Amino acid sequence: MKAGKSLEWQTLYGKVLSESDPEKLPEAIARAEAAIQSRERQLTQGSEHGAERRAIADARAALRILKIKHLPGWK
């Protein structure tokens, strides 16, 4: 189950990166952010999740940049 949740946020994040319709982008970002938040709640503080935590931090930063560049009024 953990692998499924890990893949879920990654899959949704990938869909954001490949979304070419600007009208669909806000919903895609929201879904990816929700999946990331859900996965973060599931992760333990153990070092075995360090790589995934770093990947999540990178994804969050990229989503912030996308929102700033493509969603008017978002800051």
Which bin fits 73, alpha (ψ -120 to 50), beta or left (φ > 0)? left
Structural domain boundaries of the chain? 2-70
The confidence score (pLDDT) of residue 75 equals 64
Which bin fits 25, alpha (ψ -120 to 50), beta or left (φ > 0)? alpha
* Cα 68 from Cα 54, distance rounded (Å): 21
Report residue 27 as tokens. 């919903």
What are the average pLDDT values for consecutive 10-residue runs of the chain, which has 75 residues?
A: 74 96 95 95 79 95 94 77
Nearest CA among 64, 30, 60 for reference residue 52: 60
